[in-house]
Chain A
Amino acid sequence: MITINNLVKRFGEKVAVNIDHYTIQSGDMLGLVGNNGAGKTTLFRLALDLLKADEGNVMIDDIDVSKNENWKEVTGAFIDDGFLIEYLTPEEYFTFIGKICGITKDEVSERLTRFERLMHNEIMGQKKLIRDFSAGNKQKIGIIGAMLNRPQVLILDEPFNFLDPTSQSVIKHELKAYHEETNATILISSHNLTHTVDICPRIALLEDGHIIRDIQNNDGSAEKELEAYFNIEE
């Protein structure tokens, strides 16, 4: 379970995040949507203890993320290139993550097989360093890296960015399947409303750092509400 308590983050005068109380139950799959500058990435960074909150806290499984590191053992995340060690090959990167998560090399190889469709023969065995891959393939490497230790909490910022339509679809199915298999708590931010509505049973709409709507998305029912908010006209 993730609990947000009186969380405030300011950058100078601007209040980037201001959330009184919000709970994400274990096994929830939450989509975070909002315009640029709404505070999605800042909220993720606060949840991962990569930013200092001015007030309040984020708890993962009753652990205040800023006080104790144990939550890191059950969490996987990918926000941007700052998570990638770009001078490694993808194989080395996955082995490295496996090692620090206590997963053997063979187990890493076995776990990677489920991502074969996503990797599309373009990532493994290329003898290329991560920095020399396209933005889309870097995105895939980051997402796979985040999921490699089968985390109970998975946080992905804009996972559909830079990906071709096929890969977007594969990622969508992969996340859905992972959620069904593991009942993990998954947080995804995205500008792609269709994908978010397709896979997330719950959607939080963020505006100027506030969660202004908490939408239960049963069978895609949130789509109209979101379209109205974002003023998408046919």
Chain B
Amino acid sequence: MKDCHSKSNVGSAPEQIGKRHWRALEELAGSPQFQELLEREFPRHASEWSDPVTRRKFLMLMGASFALAGISGCSPQAPIGEILPYAKQPEQMVPGKALQFATASTLGGYATGILVKSHEGRPTKIEGNPGHPASLGATDAFSQAEILGLYDPDRSQAVTYRGQPRSWSDAQIEFRKSLQALRANQGRGLAILTQTITSPTLADQLAGDTSRFKHDFPAAQWIQYESAHSNNRHDGARLAFGELVDTLYDFSSAEIVVALDADFMGLGPAHLRYTREFMAKRRAAGTVGGPAMNRLYVAESCPTVTGAAADHRVPMRAADVLQFALALAGELKLPNVQPVGAQYQRWVAAIAKDLNAHRGASLVIAGDSQPPIVHAIAHALNDALGNVGHTVKYIAPVEANPRDQFADLKTLVDDMSAGRVEMLVILGGNPVYDAPTDLDFATQLQHVPRRVHLGLYQDETAEKCDWHLPQAHFLEAWGDARAFDGTVSIQQPLIAPLYNGLSAIEVLSALFEPAGSPGYEIVQSYWRRNWSQATGAGDFESGWKRTLHDGVIAGSAAQPRTGLSVSTNWESASSPPTSAHGALELVFHADPTVYDGRFANNGWLQELPKPITKLTWDNAVLISPSLAEALHITQTVGINGGEHGQGITSLVELESGDRKLRAAAWIVPGHADDSVTLHLGYGRTAAGQTGNGAGFNANELRTAAAPWFAPDVKIRKLDESYTLACTQVHHSMEGRDPVHAFTYDEFAKDSQVLANSLSEEHREYQSQLVPGASIQEKKSAEADPRMEPLTLYPGYDYSAPKNKWGMAIDLSSCTGCNGCVVACQAENNIPVVGKTEVTRGREMHWLRIDRYYEGHTENPTTYFQPVPCMHCENAPCELVCPVGATVHSADGLNDMVYNRCVGTRYCSNNCPYKVRRFNFLEYTDFHTESLKLGRNPNVTVRSRGVMEKCTYCVQRIRGAQIDSEVSGKPMVDGDVVTACQAACPAQAIIFGDMNDPNSRVSKMKAEPLNYGLLAELNTRPRTTYLAALRNPNPELAD
């Protein structure tokens, strides 16, 4: 069996290790002998034993008992007794060595495969699972932040009845009583409300053929609701094909991509994979002699990371995307399309030409928030362009029960208000907070006599329910989930429930099975029953072990559907509510950091600057610059943090129908003019101490009829200002070109375009200063002439066998998605400072993503630039530190010695990149016990008064070096992967040894687009950038 990844080299983990450790211990735990030992609270009372105890036996039992303590996990009570080392090392467990276990995180029901690093039984870090189709080794910010979610001290910790603590058995007795009564009635009046479910086990429990729930309560309802879920794509598929299908895209062979309000690189069950595929093509095109570059057109209202990566972004109201799609369809001569206004003619003509020129290698994608007809048009376009089977595949829906969740919830609320619901069991989710406001869910909920809520937090819904049950975090429970392509992952727990929680699977079993079973048994027995059907392979035992190790059930991906025929009968499509041209629409989006509000209490995500706006701790009504001008909204910076923290803006009042909301406005260049955007997930009142009171609740304006864009809203400026914590208010590069950008055509014509663009003056100056070397001769080594050392002294010798670590970041690939930022925060124990401190310009992220705009504010080009420490060869910080707390290592790292730092902050002043972060106050929480469990034990936790900054994940470097020394095997490229690099879905960040000419980083740095940020200062940065390439259509050139 092989279900444990030893450190990072996933593929090469020795066979026959891993999950047996868990299972074996559990089996041991089950044996009467050990149960007895446990009951006797061994080892404290070991001396009571009447047998003569030999030292050997004593230590053996002692060790076993500690190992059993490992099964019960880090329960809040510390084991009582003397601490002795293991007499016999549990298999694989080497103190100080992390183990990795494969599991899956879910968002919106869909799985992303992850590998969780566990230090002595404590999960501390999440990495992507390279073997999982939705991850390919990458993770997004949400998955990364689940570690903090697990240890969140605000998590619900006890079963409560109307706020009073109860036990699980009290609850079970009570529920069984209620269910007994309902059972007589065929279950009429029983409703179960879950979030979107792809989990085969859960679906089986709720709707399977052998489901006790279905058998005993045939008239009971199962409803799913998730506020960020949209069924438009399913309805669109039904419109196009007459049946439900999911669409899979293959960007690796798509040359032209048209995204119709589709943020395929930002959100969605496959966004990591799509980013990887799309950006791999970009990267390849940016090398000399590489293939031609793909091209991305995006039509959208509010700028997203996908829009920011686009070669052409067409800002328009979300409601106008339909017109745009129709115009495109008309241009491509689709049947049944009425010619529409010439508004987008210029764009549409060029895009259509491009698409036609790349038949079979193009893609048209409709966004989930767009109405079904837009999806149907996209399907028809893909069909007409011959993309089906090449870049587009169809599979049976992955969701267990794809439904229009808003409609279902409305039916449930109607039932509740009519008194037809006797008992409502809410398994996860927070409908009181996030149900559309017109349903008035919270009020109608009070008509249900028995209200049960299972959740991670005592949230808004828990407050309105009489029973609240603490849910086990997915890192604490067994489960399963499907990825976007149907691939199944088994979720295995990394730690016993910290707060005595149960998973939804276990609760369902406890409610409806004669005897409730533990999650492990339920999940395993489901798969035992369905193994051959799901995988086509026979042997369950070995397959199960393999699955736990790999994180996926091999062969469980859905088979592509073929033979679908597209109907273009548009007339039957119900048209969404549209507003007259010129009227303002309000667009809702899931938030890029707190999603639908479920992450509202996660400090890492709250403090994460949103990709485009760089706002933290708040959402805002995002408006275009010209709308702001019309409304006289002025945006200034405060004097405390200025552009680096404190944005001061006006409050506005939004009015949609008879509902009003006061919220802060924020100007976003590139936003469509007649449109405003408000992200979901804010304005929580019972999120916890971190999330309460942050931002404005979009759900107060959201209706079930128009959940994605509401027409005809009114906006009014109020005479009040509001402070937003924005880490980068400044937009412009000020002509300083921190990001060098070229078009693909420029690069294709002359690969030396970067070197040529760096000013001639500088090169002359350089050639005077470097004796005997003309720039032309030197150019072979560095594309950026400014990177040549300006010194008469011999440099430090970094030659092999030493390492010379370096990093290269490809600005063409970076989408600004923030995965790296949270990965860095999780890896390096970076504290959260809170909104006030962010407004003072004191956020602590070691890695920040700078965002710059170029061009007109109505539709600028957006560039992202991740900025970690540059590890300068001539580091300005090292020169000025009076105590030598920041010094150069023998392998060229700019090390920070926390112990030695006295906190003069001179280094930060002298750092041209301003990547240093200072603990102005005691930012690290040294008091909350649960948070201590989640910290990386290999990274110092910094206290007040100490400077810190990116270390290139020095703990990983040293770990790999030690492993190499112990094993005697020389290190190879890829042995050291920094946290940011590992997380990056675009593989924009490459780290490695510059002494190895074949390492990926050396190759990146040898490319002609490589340049050093502010290299003219002769800092000689080790982190370099590859200039951003965009591939605009020459026909659309202004």
A and B held together in a complex: no
